[in-house]
Chain A
């Protein structure tokens, strides 16, 4: 143990050891389409559509009324429960309505949103949290509360509430904070630009999290196709290293999709593997996206909640691809118009990247906290793969799977709807990165099969739980009825025992006693018979 600590401290900072994950694929990165210019401040829209559910967990509950005037940074949706996040007004204006609106979600179903007519003043809420220049004066609890109330969620796309992730508990000591700046999906460059332009905030945010977690080491993983970002981050680290005893380290990692997957990046940087069905905290790691960390710095140092983010608008279906600083709630259509609109024929509009993003049915959807990229692909970039052919079991999929699964076997059983078998092949370790489907020569939409199998498994699990619940209720009811019956019989026996000597002693009174008893237990038929018997017995005698 001592020895291993020693070795790790002796590791030279310039060339840290990198680990490999299984598989992965090299993709044309297409980053140059959108990372040539600086980030452009998007125009303040006349209307903001702010969804109440922009995170994993319970949706926020609206805390404003239609017609109410709201300010920039004012909380308009309260978190509901521990795993939840508040939402804030991205600018000042008047709440027009709280109603369902189309969402960037594959279902295309509308979800509740707060719709704000902006007034153009962009006035800050008077009660916004005080900026804290010296974050070290705050303890972990206060910092977590601030991060929670700033509505910060994972900005890499998962949108899990950060305050929850930053609260691993006493029993899980964290020794490493991993910052995810890999941005391995092709086309997307918003983290690249963020690291170039806001490197100092990212590093400050990292120091805040180090303070919060009591951790001694930050590893910032960036793919080597972003030399400018790496240089900027290295410089920011050099400037701030003196202010912290912790070890800050920018690690250049090979460009290989999906290096930016949380599990893959942790493996690359630390050599540790997140246990199956587990979380990184179990192996002493907390992983955060670089944009999330910059948002933490904004929340603590400037008292600014999460009301804007960097969004890449790209693809050859966009006239002038680039990056924008966008208010949460701006409609995607406005952003696309700001990029010069669509150019030519469009095959797909995607929220996210080409490998894991979801297709949108239209662009009248709001930019959410989780949306890192709007990708308009031409038919040449995203050709129709054509009908799927039978699997020839070539095993290309298994060769590229970053979790060492056997996609061909999972497909086989998912197709046969044999959910137990798919789970035996570790379906739930699948991160849906799409490598398998990408290389499949038969063009089988493998990820779709795994999503289907996961959803079916969850549905079956819910059904099982529901039926189990019903069974338990039924059994409890049966037991209760049985118990009542036993008690009643026991009571009856007692009374009978009490009556019998009396009947012997005074037969004339038995009818009256029997009558009284009959009224007290009139509901049970057999009781009546018993009583009747007693009566008869009494009368005969």
Chain B
């Protein structure tokens, strides 16, 4: 009659599951991904597939080596999320073996060597990306121009077809009779830094065909897509508002301050928000629960400091974008932030 299973309360059906949460994150990436594919070609999709394959394979391998069951670990889909986020941050033409290298670093070293999901102090996708960025800076920063006819014409560039992308990724061969200069192009953030360093004023920089409505051509649409996906995650409560709002807020406030006082040398806050990895980072990367701060006040500090690091490095640092650095830097500070931002517990009066 009674199974005799003496389990501790609560006995209710659990409404959430890790793999469902991870799946929702994957689904929320769709709008931004579509925009990226639209503007930067099939390489994005090829990279995502490759990265996913490598990530699941690497995780399965580690589980085998550790003598643990493979399927439950693969099944939590966390490796898939890592792979997708990694693939969305690398250039759509990155050689396949660099993707493999980055993923191996992310999954094997950053995630599994620390004990697997839940134990990694750093965000695996960002650690993998930064590993490549430092070790292979040229390959990791060679982006494509967005597929906007006016821009391609103005700069005499070609857009890569599916086959071109695949060939470039797998063999490293460019389409016949083209050069790297003809297929690649600086990202808006990159171009902005170069021009500003040449003492060109913002008004002139804004005339560039690379510039769109608020951010870079194509990039602003991808950012909008990630913003939509992020709002979806907020709506279904997979993430809370604290990290995205504080991250974007601090980035906007800091860039806004400088822009208000010197608009000819500093881009507007909306440019910062809709360029580079700001939206993707705010909603999908900084919110990685394992490596982020866990208290609510801590998350506000965590997000705001990432925003500040991003602004500082974008404006004065050596790299055009800095979401990965900001996230990794604050990852290691998260335990300390958590320690100093514990909530006031019921019945404990005012915290002194």
Residue from B6, B13, B20, B240 whose CB has the most chain A CB atoms within 10 Å: B13
Interface centre among A106, A348, A361, A425 (most CB of B within 10 A): A348
Nearest A residue to B76, CB-CB = A389
Q: Quick check: B346 and A273 within 8 Å, CB to CB?
A: yes
B117 touching A362, Cβ below 8 Å: no
- B: number of interface residues (CB 8 Å): 44
Choose from A21, A355, A432, A439 the contact partner of B346 (Cβ within 8 Å).
A21
Q: Known contacts being A263-B347, A392-B289, A406-B295, is A347 close to B12, with CB within 8 Å?
A: no
The segment from B46-54, B151-159, B336-344 found at the interface with A is B336-344
In the complex the two chains form, what is the Cα distance from A387 to B73 in whole Å? 12
B118 touches A (CB below 8 Å): yes
**Distance from B123 Cβ to chain A, minimum over Cβ atoms (Å):** 12
What are the residues of chain B within 8 A of A406 when measuring CB–CB?
Answer: 294-295, 338, 342-343
Q: CB-CB contacts of A413-453 with B at 8 A, as 1s and 0s?
A: 00000000000011001001010011111110101100100
A350 in complex: contacting residue of B11, B116, B290, CB < 8 Å: B11
Q: Give Cα distance in the complex from A346 to B348, angstroms.
A: 42
A79 interface hit (Cβ, 8 Å): no
In residues 258-313 of chain A, which contact B (Cβ within 8 Å)?
263, 267, 273-276, 278
User: B8, B15, B289: which contacts A438 (Cβ < 8 A)?
Assistant: B15
**By DSSP majority rule, is chain A's interface helix, strand, loop, or mixed?**
loop
B345 to A186, Cβ gap below 8 A?
no
**Is the Cβ of B10 less than 8 Å from the Cβ of A354?**
yes
By the criterion CB–CB under 8 Å, are B344 and A404 in contact? yes
Residue A396 at the chain B interface, CB threshold 8 Å: yes
Q: Which residues of A contact B3 (CB under 8 A)?
A: 346-348
B16:A434 contact, CB within 8 angstroms: no
Q: Of the candidates B10, B15, B338, B346, which one forms a contact with A429 in the assembled complex, judged by CB atoms under 8 Å apart? A: B346
Please give the distance in Å from B331's CB to the nearest CB on chain A. Answer: 12
- Please tell me if A342 contacts chain B, counting CB pairs below 8 Å: yes
Please indicate the chain A residues that have their CB under 8 angstroms from the CB of B116 in the complex: 390
With A and B bound together, what is the CA distance between A362 and B4 in angstroms? 8
Nearest-neighbor residue (CB-CB) of A383 within chain B: B13
Residue in B closest to A434 when the chains form the complex, CB atoms = B10
Check if B6 sits within 8 Å of A393, measured CB to CB: no
A275 to B6, CA, bound (A): 33
CB of A470 closer than 8 Å to a CB of B: no
Given known pairs A389-B18, A440-B16, the reply for A382 and B11 (CB within 8 Å) is: yes
Cβ-defined contact, B12 with A382, below 8 A: yes
State the CA gap A346–B296 with chains docked (Å). Answer: 40
Q: Is A395 an interface residue (CB 8 A)?
A: yes
**Interface assignment of A227: CB less than 8 Å from any CB of chain B:** no
Given contacts A22-B346, A403-B345, contact A438 B20 (CB under 8 A): no
Q: Could you tell me if A440 and B345 are in contact, using CB atoms closer than 8 angstroms?
A: no
Quick check: is B2 within 8 A (CB to CB) of the other chain? yes
B345, A408: Cβ atoms closer than 8 Å: no
A405 interface contact, C-beta 8 A? yes
Asked if B14 is at the interface (CB within 8 A of a chain A CB), the reply is: yes
Residue contact B9 to A358, C-beta cutoff 8 Å: yes
Chain A contacts for B4, CB-based, 8 A: 361
Cβ of B17 within 8 Å of any chain A Cβ, yes or no, is yes
| Shortest distance between the CB of B25 and any CB in chain A (Å) | 11
Closest B residue to A264 by CB, please name it.
Answer: B346
> A186 near B1 (CB under 8 angstroms)?
no
With both beta carbons as reference points, the residue of chain B lying nearest to A403 in the complex is identified as B346
Sample of 9 A–B contacts (CB below 8 Å): A273-B347, A348-B5, A390-B119, A392-B290, A403-B347, A429-B348, A438-B14, A441-B20, A442-B118
Given A346-B2, A359-B11, output 7 extra A-B contacts at Cβ < 8 Å.
Answer: A359-B5, A361-B4, A389-B72, A389-B117, A392-B290, A399-B296, A438-B14
